Amino acid sequence: MIDSLQLLIAQTAPQLKLRWLTPEPKEPRPLRGETPAHGSQSLIGSLNCIHPNRLQVIGHPEQIYLTELGSTAFTETIEKLFADRPAAVLFSDDIEPDAALREVAERTQTPLLSSSLGDQDLINHLRYFLTHALAERETVHGVFIEVLGMGVLLVGNPAVGKSELALELITRGHRIIADDAPRFARIAPEVLEGSCPETLRDFLEVRGLGILNIRAMFGEGAVRRDKTLNLIIDLQPLDHQQLESIDRLSGSLTAMNILGVAIPKIVMPVAPGRNLAILVEAAVRHQILRIRGYDAGVDFIDRQARAISIDRPDPPALRR
């Protein structure tokens, strides 16, 4: 996990054309502050001394603002900037900081960096990278697969048939992301992105066959690195009591909470003779229609209600 300034720069420097203006710190410099006040700070943004960012970016507008300040106001602003102990101060557009700013940075041991990118490009790239790198993560037992463009997580008890179902879906043209231990990251308030640990990538375990390399067997088009999680399908052995409790019109749609995000979940009974691959594809198509605002169960009820109202005879007229 990227939790220090040095690791961030090591991974993004070539793409963002970043270079150190001061010596690289020998000790890891945390991106998130160690105090509660630092914990509530924004990670990156343009120069802001009122609500300081952990990574303060100075572009042409901020540079013009600083140069137009009087000597006293300039000194106070710079002192305030470094008193908040940012993780680093970044200069865009190859701006070179003046001697006074360098002196305060050296005194407070605050790293300075420069990039040839514009300020907004630099902020947008780093914000996107940090959103993914520092996102909350959780590993869930199951098989994560892309079906008809939707990320589907197959869960259920061991030996219920998750891997066999995933293998059949792959042969039908769908793509696997992760087997056994997909890892999900919350990259937005209502968005989970799933990926596969590097050591497990491309592999699928099927009882009786052992470990299969899906990329080698089916080609590049059968695997995918990551995908947004859209639907969870819980495979459950057929139980007549549970089967009777399922709503025949609306099915068993509920929700499962992962990292504080409610993901739609469908309980799918498993029994001999059921073609689960076709059922999974149908469940995904049905969920796509729900997302578009159409519910077949509601449509069916409305159609029956209209038919009943048409067939019902008019009440007899009242005699006077």
How many CB atoms are located within 10 Å of the residue 232 CB?
A: 22
Catalytic, 26? Answer: no
Q: Which of 240, 248, 292, 320 is catalytic?
A: 248
- Which residues in 172-202 are b (16+ Cβ under 10 Å) and which e? eebbbbbbbebbbbbbeeeebbbbbeeebbb
CA separation for the pair 232, 254 (Å, rounded): 10
Exposure of 305 by Cβ count < 10 A (0-12 exposed, 13-18 middle, 19+ buried)? Answer: exposed
CA separation for the pair 83, 216 (Å, rounded): 56
Cβ atoms of 266 and 253 closer than 8 Å: yes
* Residue 232 bridge partners (DSSP): 153, 265
DSSP 52: -
Please give the annotated binding residues for Mg(2+), written as ranges.
Answer: 163, 205
Q: Which of 85, 93, 102, 180 is catalytic?
A: 180
Please give the annotated binding residues, written as ranges.
Answer: 163, 205
Phi first, then psi: what are they for 112, rounded to 5°? -120, 140
Here the tokens at position 197 are 């640990």
Catalytic, 38? Answer: no
Q: Which of 141, 172, 285, 306 is catalytic?
A: 141
Three-state DSSP class for residue 216: helix
Q: Indicate the residue type of 214.
A: I
Cβ atoms of 86 and 52 closer than 8 Å: yes
Q: Which of 29, 84, 119, 162 is catalytic?
A: 162
* Cα–Cα nearest to 123, from 56, 172, 178: 56
DSSP 81: H
* Cα–Cα nearest to 29, from 90, 88, 100, 79: 88
Catalytic, 248? Answer: yes
Catalytic, 227? Answer: no
Residues serving a catalytic function are: 141, 162, 180, 248
